[in-house]
């Protein structure tokens, strides 16, 4: 993945716009202070990222969404299990701490989070950058970070040594959680998108 600093800056702007919109929509849906903020966008080395994910021993809940269209891509959002339980309580309008384990209610809550993220990522790219992206139904997993990330790599059939990593902070109900958000675009079509908006290598 050969991306110039100029292109990386554009990707950061695109990511920030979409995450900000998703954050506002999530907060409105939950009727509480929930915020997802972008802290850094970088091109991550696949082997080093895999090693980092394997070292993270937290139980995670994740949502993965495929985007179809001219600029196809896939994204994976992972947050610690404790975050998904807080989300479950908020979606169900019940006292924080009521949800104790990952169950069908937690799965539905994370699936809804995936819908919110997917729709606003695609809307930002479509409206602001003339992309063609159609999100597919989100898929939810509950496992360790390394296992979830390996599934993304295997499913994507990674042929590149790098991928786009968006480091995010998820603040919800007074709790700050470090989360992972990976965007794995089909680089040929994504490069054409950047070319179309005048961002050259």
124 falls within a domain: yes
Per the domain annotation, does 161 fall within a domain?
yes
Percent of residues in the chain assigned helix, strand, coil, to nearest 5: 45, 30, 25
pLDDT tens-digit profile of 10-66?
Answer: 777 777 777 888 888 888 888 777 788 877 777 777 788 888 889 988 899 999 988
Q: Tell me the residue range of the domain where 172 lies.
A: 5-196
Provide the token pair at 113: 């989070």
Task: Give pLDDT, residue 16.
Answer: 79
Decide the pairing of beta strands 59-68 and 175-185: unpaired
pLDDT of 75-115, one tens digit each?
Answer: 888 889 988 998 899 889 899 899 999 999 999 999 988 88
What is the average pLDDT value for the chain, to the nearest integer?
Answer: 79
Tell me if 144 is assigned to some domain.
Answer: yes
Q: Return the CATH number at 17.
A: 3.40.1550.10
Q: Please tell me the distance from the alpha carbon of residue 114 to that of residue 137, in angstroms, as a whole number.
A: 9
Cα–Cα dist 10/180, whole Å:
20
Q: Is residue 201 part of a domain?
A: no
Q: Which of 62, 11, 10 is nearest to 170 (CA)?
A: 62
Q: How many structural domains does the chain have?
A: 1
Does residue 102 contact residue 111 with C-beta atoms inside 8 Å?
no
Contact 185, 18 (CB under 8 A): no
Return the DSSP state at 58. Answer: S
d(CA 62, CA 181): 10
In a domain, 128, yes or no: yes
């Amino acid at each position: 993945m050969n991306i110039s600093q100029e292109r990386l800056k554009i990707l950061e702007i695109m990511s920030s716009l979409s995450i900000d919109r998703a954050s506002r929509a999530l907060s409105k849906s939950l009727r509480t202070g929930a915020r997802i903020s972008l802290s850094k966008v970088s091109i991550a080395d696949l082997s080093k990222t895999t090693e980092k994910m394997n070292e993270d021993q937290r139980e995670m809940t994740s949502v993965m969404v495929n985007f179809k269209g001219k600029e196809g891509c896939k994204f994976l959002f992972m947050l610690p299990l404790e975050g998904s339980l807080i989300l479950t309580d908020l979606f169900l309008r019940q006292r924080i701490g009521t949800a104790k384990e990952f169950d069908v209610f937690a799965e539905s809550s994370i699936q809804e989070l995936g819908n919110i993220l997917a729709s606003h990522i695609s809307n930002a790219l479509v409206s602001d950058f003339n992309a063609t992206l159609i999100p597919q139904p989100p898929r939810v997993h509950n496992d360790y970070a390394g296992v979830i990330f390996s599934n993304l790599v295997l499913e994507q059939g990674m042929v590149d040594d790098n991928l786009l990593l968006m480091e995010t902070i998820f603040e919800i109900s007074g709790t700050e959680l470090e989360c992972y958000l990976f965007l794995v675009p089909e680089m040929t079509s994504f490069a054409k998108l950047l070319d179309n908006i005048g961002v050259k290598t």
